[in-house]
Each structure stands twice: as structure tokens, then as C-alpha cells.
Amino acid sequence: MSRPTRRQILHGSAAALAGAALAAPVAFADTAAARPADGHGQAAGDGPSGGHEMPEPFDEMYEGRHIEGWPADEEGAQNGGHNSSGSHAGRHAGLAGPHDGMDFVVRIDNDDLHVMRNADGTWISLVNHYETFTTPRALARAAVRELQGADLVPVVTG
């Protein structure tokens, strides 16, 4: 195993411990099974659809916190590419990179917030994991309210 970077340690060391139990997360791809969102907390009805629109990037101050988000496939363009190389190495080492398995990157004061898209197009985050939001921006704002000023910390999963 190659020596992990600090970033991998911050975001991936725990995943390495859990790695025996967990497959590497698979990057989200729009599928025919994906369906449009129809509002907060409700699954959409069955039926074919062409998948979801990827939400627009955002960057704003909300209740004193800097929240930003962008589609994960723009990671390299917006972030100098250092993360994508890190996560690639991470996969080789059995580590999960910070954004592996995420289709949208969300940060609060430059710390990563793990987010996930549901099949109906709604979103959840690690901070609000049992409640769905129609957009990553709404999810980021909800996380800010939940955090009450606290900083996010690297995720520990194993």
C-alpha cells in the first residue's frame, strides 16, 4: 500500500478499516430507473424518465457559513485536480477518496459534507441522513442550521 496523503488520512483512513466489509462506493450515474423529484420527502411515481438534471453549482454565505457545491465531475476543473488523483490512489489502496460515490460535492467552510442522491432525485447528507431535500443547496442550508456553528469533521466509518 502506498503511503496515503494527509487528505486521504483525513477522509479515508476509517474507510480503509471498514474496507473489508464495504465495497468501494460506485459513482452515481443517471439511469433509466432514476426519476424526477416531486418534492420534499416524497418519492416520485413510477414511470420512465430520462434521469435527473444535475443541480447547478452554488456558492454563498448562509447564516455566517460559506456553503458551496458543484457537480463532482467538475472536481478537477474547480479544484485543481488534486482530489481526483488522490481518490484514484485511494481506490488502489482500498481507501475511499473524499468524493468517491458522490455525484455532487458540497462544502461548508471548505470542509466536505458527504451527500447522496436518492433514486427519486432528492438528496440527503450525512448530517441529515433520514430526511430528503430537493436540492444540494437546501441540504447544505439545513446542515448549517443543524451544525449551529460547529465544524464538520472527517468522516469516521470503521
Partner 1 sequence: MAVRKNQANLTATEKRNFVDAVLELKRSGRYDEFISTHNAFIIGDSDDGERTGHRSPSFLPWHRRFLLQFEQALQSITPSVMLPYWDWTADRTPRSSLWADDFLGGDGRSGDGRVTSGPFAFGSGKWPMNIRVDGRTFLRRSLGTGVRELPTRAEVDRVLAMSVYDAAPWNSSSDGFRNNVEGWRGPNLHNRVHVWVGGQMTTGASPNDPVFWLHHCFIDKLWADWQGMHPKSGYLPTGDTPDVVDLHDTMKPWNDVTPADMLDHTKFYTYA
Binding site for partner 1 (CB under 8 A): 14-15, 17-18, 20-23, 25-26, 28-29, 31, 33-35, 41-44, 101, 114, 116-120, 126-132, 146-148, 150-153, 155-158
Residue 38 vs 59, nearer CB to partner 1: 38
Q: How far is the CB of 126 from partner 1 (least distance, A)?
A: 5
Give Cβ neighbours of residue 95 (< 8 Å, ≥ 6 apart).
4, 8, 12, 13, 15, 16, 19, 89
Q: Is there a contact between 90 and 96 (Cβ–Cβ < 8 Å)?
A: yes
Residue 80 vs 128, nearer CB to partner 1: 128
Q: How far is the CB of 143 from partner 1 (least distance, A)?
A: 9
Residue 41 vs 80, nearer CB to partner 1: 41
Distances (CA, A) of 17 to 24, 86, 94, 152, 156: 12, 18, 9, 21, 10
